[in-house]
Structure 1
């Protein structure tokens, strides 16, 4: 699909449509949608901003490329004066006191926020069922899950309710729902976009990223949000990616894939066959394809969840109803803390906090947590070796197609294993893009650290190849 951002920009400039009319149409579609994607509409803010864009155009002033473009925000980002609930009971009445850096950059560029989007509570889930607002329904088949944790964001883009949305990816939470709903979703290199104002799940792998219907829209939004931020010491300065550079793919000579991913017993036969067919198509284009050795899926999932649960136990320890949150009073302070957290956190969030506290506790930390850190180092070293041999790594996004709503809640382990093909790239801090081609849940394109441009280049090459 061609760039929606560029198309709408031209329509606004040519006065084929007013920004107010555009925003009203999107808000109405969001109100009427039956996919449970909306936590809160930002209608007053959106219409006020739209009126300002219309006034500029009426005065003959030029507008920026993102100015007047409606977008959605996963409900884990701070936007001053709006509810930021993380789809949880604990924060259902919490209003942000400030705005996340990535969102502020989009506001500064003139983009118009429409909606806070439904997601798994605190990002804890792979299906967007773990939410107080009801399970997000898949854009293609509403009987299936929307994917998680950025399910509402992916479905809104797929249905056209937003032009693009900002999700959050810790272990696959942008890429997997993008694959489930047939859109593009990017997890950039860790640190390329500031995490300030994003509710922390696992700080060492949390990434801000865009979901859109075209590579060009991903590029535009990525450029707008990227850059160093003094409020996030893990962020770094990066060069903008030009549109012209994406058409030059001659520097991609070798593509690798992990043979144990496709040889796994967990992968659906159809996804395996389609992935191997895509590999064959790439090879037929004269690109060398190399099978790579990598860690087993179970090792990747275990390592990721060991570290992620430890970090979420630490990050969520601040939420006890004292400074913010839905406080439940009890007989004494200690009991108040216990009841507040017990009643307000979901079963999945409590499972991750308990698991995290256990792996950090005396007697377990050396055996489990430190081993997880060591394995992460090995995974990163493995990637460095791989990218000495290949330019790009391609993989399935998921080993199977989206489950029916309700199935994931019955089997948390199966939910964790659905992340088997995404978590490794998160542990490696690598730029990874889901494209809606190749298999029923898309393909995943990964490059070495800080090489986000190469990911978009290869995606652009595959757009007309597969």
Structure 2
């Protein structure tokens, strides 16, 4: 199978390249790039680690598959000693005191971190424009958005500035930018990878996941990060996914799709036509395709944002300038809190905090928040029934193509609705992978909980099918 990781590993082992030269080349590209993907470069750390790899190879010592492979980190992950800003004014000078579990596992495997990557502030956005570092520009057309919130991570992979990057997905924040930039992006089953050290947006749907240029590289990185973590009680022990297991898709007999997604007035005509063409190609391979009923897009978006805003209001309540962040002094403590948060949070973050506090407030919580929780349960039950009838579900990643930079900021509602095809799978806590095929912004493949292997298996099958 195609794999940049395996190719670079072999070049290092064969002494065709040095790790130091590889890392320096990537750092130079990142430093010069004009797509606003970089919040900070980890130059000293990267070069120091690269030298260690070169020293091992010089002594003919064996190196691991990920050892010496350069990667990027969305700037919402703690990495000890680095500035972790979440692309926000509030945390522009905040230094991590520890390292996130998922990132530590990659470091333990010998992968080399190059960059903390630009994103929507605290993950609040679908375009990577809500950031103090400037809007991330699409890898294929710099006039368009890079997608969000993991826009910098997806663009860096697409432009080969990193071999892979670690994004964060709450309601589509890995999958949508992966689609916009024509790369692979995985939101694993909720709990497969520890969230410890990831700045929380919505704790019930936040997922750590990889972005890369091949299914095989996604598999390699997923295996490295997966597993139970005593610091995150939602994690579980997961089975290793082998390379050989992805080579056959014989156990995938039936594929489903949500007909209301395709019949929606919101879907772009070209996206719809291309998706239906992909369906026909799948049928031509002897796989049965079933049209499924699902919740309307507006219901999915409303449910997701009701719960996500409530959770982010709670999670960000600690950021008041006392223990964390850029404190702005005022006449009294209450005013200090108010000014610090008003001046340092982006408009989008403030919009989500206000919305979250409203749905949690007395008089609204029963009417809105509890109804959202009930709908989430109904959505999960719907998925359980669907996966009794089909093996996997495919869907467009987005109803339309990437907007121009600036357009999303003028219309927040349109930005929320761009998540219509991703948020349902987040609410269901299901493994979902974007592949750069099928439509202009790719396709999503989804399976039942804990069936991440099946998602990768079908993605590998579709490489030569559509």
- CA drift at 1:20: 0.2
Q: 2:261 maps to which residue?
A: 261
- CA drift at 1:248: 1.4
Cα separation, 2, equivalents of 1:281 and 1:158: 26
Q: 2:230 maps to which residue?
A: 230
Q: 1:291 maps to which residue?
A: 291
Q: SS where residue 257 of structure 1 aligns?
A: strand
Cα separation, 1, equivalents of 2:336 and 2:79: 29
Q: 2:418 maps to which residue?
A: 418
Matched, 1:316 2:316: yes
Q: SS where residue 393 of structure 1 aligns?
A: strand
Q: 2:14 maps to which residue?
A: 14
Matched, 1:84 2:84: yes
Cα separation, 2, equivalents of 1:345 and 1:443: 34
Q: 1:397 maps to which residue?
A: 397
Q: 1:375 maps to which residue?
A: 375
Q: 1:431 maps to which residue?
A: 431
Cα separation, 2, equivalents of 1:112 and 1:28: 15
- CA drift at 1:324: 1.5
- CA drift at 1:95: 0.3
Q: 2:118 maps to which residue?
A: 118
- CA drift at 1:124: 0.0
Cα separation, 1, equivalents of 2:91 and 2:329: 16
Matched, 1:409 2:404: no
Cα separation, 2, equivalents of 1:29 and 1:322: 38
- CA drift at 1:30: 0.1
Matched, 1:69 2:41: no
Runs of 4+ in structure 1 off by over 2 angstroms are none
Cα separation, 2, equivalents of 1:232 and 1:112: 24
- CA drift at 1:87: 0.1
Matched, 1:60 2:54: no
Matched, 1:155 2:158: no
Q: 1:307 maps to which residue?
A: 307
Cα separation, 1, equivalents of 2:25 and 2:273: 41
Q: SS where residue 419 of structure 1 aligns?
A: coil
Task: After superposition, give the CA deviation of every residue in 1:151-196 in whole Å (9 maximum; x if it has no partner).
Answer: 0000000000000000000000000000000000000000000000
Cα separation, 2, equivalents of 1:71 and 1:274: 32
Cα separation, 2, equivalents of 1:431 and 1:371: 25
Q: C-alpha root-mean-square deviation of aligned residues, in Å?
A: 0.5
Query: Where does structure 1 lack aligned partners over 5 or more consecutive residues?
Result: none
Cα separation, 1, equivalents of 2:406 and 2:429: 32
Q: Structure 2 length as normaliser, TM-score?
A: 1.00
Q: SS where residue 342 of structure 1 aligns?
A: helix
Q: 1:131 maps to which residue?
A: 131
Q: 2:336 maps to which residue?
A: 336
Cα separation, 2, equivalents of 1:236 and 1:322: 34
Cα separation, 2, equivalents of 1:185 and 1:243: 18
Q: Structure 1 length as normaliser, TM-score?
A: 1.00
Q: SS where residue 414 of structure 1 aligns?
A: helix
Matched, 1:95 2:95: yes
Matches within 5 A, 1:174-189: 174-189=174-189
- CA drift at 1:407: 0.1
Cα separation, 1, equivalents of 2:109 and 2:278: 38
Task: After superposition, give the CA deviation of every residue in 1:243-299 in whole Å (9 maximum; x if it has no partner).
Answer: 000011000000000000000000000000000000010011100000000000000
Cα separation, 2, equivalents of 1:358 and 1:454: 40
Cα separation, 1, equivalents of 2:144 and 2:156: 15
Q: SS where residue 208 of structure 1 aligns?
A: strand
Q: SS where residue 36 of structure 2 aligns?
A: coil
Q: SS where residue 79 of structure 1 aligns?
A: coil
Q: SS where residue 394 of structure 2 aligns?
A: strand
Cα separation, 1, equivalents of 2:217 and 2:60: 26
Task: After superposition, give the CA deviation of every residue in 1:315-359 in whole Å (9 maximum; x if it has no partner).
Answer: 000000000100000011110000000000000000000000000
Q: SS where residue 289 of structure 2 aligns?
A: strand
Cα separation, 2, equivalents of 1:460 and 1:107: 27
Q: 2:362 maps to which residue?
A: 362
Cα separation, 2, equivalents of 1:135 and 1:111: 28
- CA drift at 1:2: 1.9
Matched, 1:451 2:451: yes
- CA drift at 1:70: 0.1
Count of matched residue pairs: 466
Task: After superposition, give the CA deviation of every residue in 1:343-378 in whole Å (9 maximum; x if it has no partner).
Answer: 000000000000000000000000000000000000
Cα separation, 1, equivalents of 2:162 and 2:179: 17
Cα separation, 2, equivalents of 1:245 and 1:2: 15
Task: After superposition, give the CA deviation of every residue in 1:129-163 in whole Å (9 maximum; x if it has no partner).
Answer: 00000000000000000000000000000000000
Cα separation, 2, equivalents of 1:247 and 1:287: 17
